[in-house]
Structure 1
């Protein structure tokens, strides 16, 4: 069983804290050495307490679903003999009230646009099958209750 380690680090510095006007800016440090600036979303906590340059947890959730799907898609496509030149996804997560009345990311729509190289091009049905298999294999999609929708875009759009 694999483990994945992330360190989330925040410092108060000289903020009073109890007035609730402290910075929500913090850092995500990954086991491979990358450090990412993070913050609460400015949609949730107003600037200057939020840092709009930091990645917020909601964005990271959507990005992790998109990234996981892409990595599986690339692997599956390669196994089937397709050459992919480019993959881009403009994923969108929607925050709304869930069945329990709590705010949650209730839906994520992935809109991958894939450009294939070489002579072998998948049909629309084969493309959908590749995306379906990638969705089925994605560890992150398998880990959440959020509805994850994949709406591939044609590279000609």
Structure 2
């Protein structure tokens, strides 16, 4: 079995001069730094006093689910000689607050996949199932992820 290591620095940048003296005294701003990659300017969700223009952990989790599924799907299409030309996922998720925490309760991926020429739609749909089964992120979370693909042959809009 292969093992892969990941490392980053998450640096809080939201001290407004009072530190964390109170819940409203500090900004939730932070930077996610990974050697050799663009810095991600993060915050919390605006519902938790974060900056709306910055990415938050919930955004990043959903993005990770969507991107992981897409990358596996691209791989499986290539391996099965399906020529995918366009892939756009309208992903969504629900997070429920509970007590002093909360959790994601579901995510829905709605990838629209356009192929060159006629395509075996049953195979194209099955590969979404296979991609979901192989996705590292999907295999790491404890909430359901539904995949509702739309398969489009090149000759159709």
Name the TM tier (shorter chain): 0.7 to 0.9
Which residue in the other structure is 2:120 paired with? Answer: 122
Which ranges in structure 1 are unaligned for 5 or more consecutive residues?
Answer: none
Q: Deviations over 1:98-130 (max 9, x none)?
A: 8x995211100000011112x35122x212211
- String of CA shifts for 1:66-116, please: whole Å, max 9, x gaps: 000000000000000011111110100101258x99521110000001111
Which stretch has the larger CA shift, 21-30 or 147-156?
Answer: 147-156
Q: Please say which of residues 88-97 and 70-79 is displaced more in the overlay.
A: 88-97
Of 21-30 and 67-76, the range deviating more from structure 2: 21-30
Q: What secondary structure sits across from 1:78 in the alignment?
A: helix
Seen in structure 2, the aligned counterparts of structure 1 residues 27 and 152 have a Cα distance that, compared at 3 Å, is same
RMSD (Å), alpha carbons? 2.1
Tell me, yes or no, if structure 1 residue 108 matches structure 2 residue 110. Answer: no
Unaligned runs of 5+ in 2: none
Structure-2 separation of matches of 1:101 and 1:150? 30
User: 2:139 is matched with which residue?
Assistant: 142
C-alpha displacement at 1:148, in angstroms? 0.6
C-alpha separation in 2, matches of 1:26 and 1:102? 20
1:3 matched to 2:5? The reply is yes
Within 5 Å, give how 1:2-151 maps onto structure 2. 2-16=4-18, 17-21=20-24, 22-43=26-47, 45-46=48-49, 50-96=50-96, 103-117=102-116, 119-123=117-121, 125-151=122-148
Check conservation: 1:37, 1:53, Cα contact below 8 A.
no
Query: For this pair of structures, how many residues does the alignment match?
Result: 150
Name the CA distance, whole Å, in 1 between partners of 2:131 and 2:35. 25
SS class of match (2:68): helix
